[in-house]
Amino acid sequence: MTEQAEGMHFFVADVRNIQDPNEGGKVQICVHGHHNIGDKPIPDDDLPWAHCIMNNSPSINGIGESVAYVAGSTVVGFWLDGDRKQIPYIIGSTHRGAQPK
C-alpha cells in the first residue's frame, strides 16, 4: 500500500523545454521559489517534466490536440503528490502581453 500524500500545493513556473524526449506531451519546468532558490539553482537538465492537463478535445494515440506551450511560458499547476512535490501537473498558463515600449 502506498503512502497518501498530504496537502494540495499550487505553483507558478516557467517552461524551460518543450522537447519531451518520450513524446508524451510533457514540458520541463522551473517552479518559482522551489527550483531556483539559494546559491545553486537546479540546472535545467535536472528539472522535472510536467504533465499538462488538456482542454476538452479528444487526445489519444497521438491524434488530437497537442501541448501549445513554448519555452518561456509562465504556467500554473499543482503537485499531484502533495507534500512530496515530485509530480507536477500544469493546469494553464498566464497571459503575457506585449512588452511596453
pLDDT of residue 86: 93
- Residue 26 C-beta-side C-alpha neighbours within 13 Å: 15
Domains and CATH numbers, the chain: 10-93 (2.40.50.260)
pLDDT of residue 57: 58
pLDDT of residue 1: 40
- Interatomic CA distance for residues 60 and 51, integer angstroms: 15
Q: Walk along the chain (101 residues) in steps of 10 and give the mean pLDDT of each run.
A: 67 94 91 87 92 70 67 94 93 76 62
- Interatomic CA distance for residues 2 and 65, integer angstroms: 33
pLDDT of residue 95: 79
- Interatomic CA distance for residues 64 and 76, integer angstroms: 23
pLDDT of residue 94: 87
Q: Is 46 helix (H, G, I), strand (E, B) or coil?
A: helix
